[in-house]
Structure 1
Amino acid sequence: MATPTPLREPTFLILTALAREPMHGYGIISDVAALSGGRLALRPGTLYGALDRLTDERLVERDHEEVVEGRLRRYYRLTEAGRSVLTAETERLRRNVEAASERLRARPAGTSTAGGFARGPLNLPGTAAHPILRPTGGLA
């Protein structure tokens, strides 16, 4: 099963967390939270399900295990395929950011659009700019 692109944010951040060095589950959870500015809080079940999927896709692999305070701590690392996928996704996102930034810079300051039309003063029916005509021909 191939990893879809674009990557979903949790997958992107898990791969990003592992880009620097092998990490264990709690380390990945903490790093993903930091990378997302606290917006994404992975639960252990979600993380390990994602790691199993990423391992099956050969984007991540087990690095080593150690016992800490009587508990097994399994470390994961990014594979070369994982690094390639993360690099491609990073480049895709960079191009999108550049395109959006270029469009924002090209727009004159103080203007905005709604539905493709330039906004100006709001002229509602019944205001001086658009009086409502009554069936009798008089103004409202």
Structure 2
Amino acid sequence: VPDKMVRAIAAFIDFCYIVCHSTLDEADLEAMEDALRCFEAERTIFKEVQIHPNGISIPQIHALQHYHHLVQQFGAPNGLCSSITGSKYIQAVKKPWRKSNQHNALGQMLITNQHLDNIASFRANRFAEGKHLLQV
């Protein structure tokens, strides 16, 4: 295994390890950025040895570049899985988009989400009162 590949994988694992902490301070954010810079510099080995002929370019890796800013804005992700955020994206964006007529869709999508939230709240309240509803 080439040294460059080992460094790329080690940097990626370091990044993942740091991100999973429940709290992150400035030193952690700097270490996270260093690990990401190292990974970005070393990941070309996967293309060079033709393990991945087009290089590594997947959306989740692109998203890593935004972690530092997002942690500063919203706090540590604390192990939040991207599949959770992906499923929320589908529920909050993709499905309402499909229900809209795609003309000035944002307003329609917001109303759809508001209606779905109201229905969920109504169902939760009815369930709490012991009045179960049939699923539609």
TM-score scaled to structure 1, two decimals? 0.21
Q: Which protein is richer in helix relative to its size? A: 2
Bigger Rg, structure 1 or 2: 1
